Amino acid sequence: MNNAHPLSTPMVVRSLDVNKDPFRPPTHNNEILGPEVPYLSAIGALMYLANNTRPDIAFSVNLLARYSSTPTKRHWNGVKHILRYLRGTSDMGLYFERHENAKATNLVGYSDAGYLSDPHKAISQSGYVFMYGGTAISWRSTKQTLVATSSNHAELIALYEAGRECGLDHSYIMFVNRVD
């Protein structure tokens, strides 16, 4: 990876045409990678980064992890794309600064949904991030378990999930500030 060309995006843009989608299911068994390719190890290592210090790759890794049982060359190229992105953004990360008045610092949250983000299964995607003191403290990107009938419905489902997390994060912050 030392000679890899760095990239500025964690994933190639998906095509709305199902037949041109780079993440479509494999059409022939001969496309499936063998055990000599460390696909699962790479996904595990990227999941660790996405869960702990690099929320910017969470969606991309989540998408590639869905194909762990039958990865193809397209999926392996997606893993290499993320690795090249990490090479180009090695100076990015989560940095926590100490604030003089931690009790005055606000918890800020953002949520979003992608209506029918998986064209193969007609499932929407939810995501949220919560920031405290300017740094992300919790984030999630996941498939919705309910079938959304519109983009507005998908947004409401994402907002509900974010609201549940907001309560937990707020309680945690209150506890930490009490101990401090």
Contact status, residue 94 vs residue 129, Cβ threshold 8 Å: no
pLDDT band at 16 (very low <50, low <70, confident <90, very high): very low
What is this structure's pTM? 0.68
Question: Count of residues for the chain?
Answer: 180
Residue 108 confidence (pLDDT) above 60: yes
Average pLDDT over residues 85-90: 91
Work out the angle at residue 75's Cα, subtended by the Cα atoms of residues 93 and 116, and round it to the nearest 5 degrees. Answer: 80
Which pLDDT belongs to residue 4? 76
Tell me the pLDDT tens digit for each residue of 136-156: 888 888 888 888 888 999 999
Which pLDDT belongs to residue 101? 67
The one-letter amino acid at 95: Y
Which pLDDT belongs to residue 39? 92
Mean pLDDT of the chain: 83
Residue, of 149 and 179, whose pLDDT is higher: 149
Helices (H), 2-150: 39-52, 58-65, 73-88
Which pLDDT belongs to residue 104? 61
pLDDT band at 21 (very low <50, low <70, confident <90, very high): low
The residues with which 127 forms a beta bridge, in sequence order, are: 112, 141
The one-letter amino acid at 83: L
The residues with which 126 forms a beta bridge, in sequence order, are: 113, 142
> What is the C-alpha separation between 110 and 115, in angstroms, rounded?
17
Which pLDDT belongs to residue 52? 84
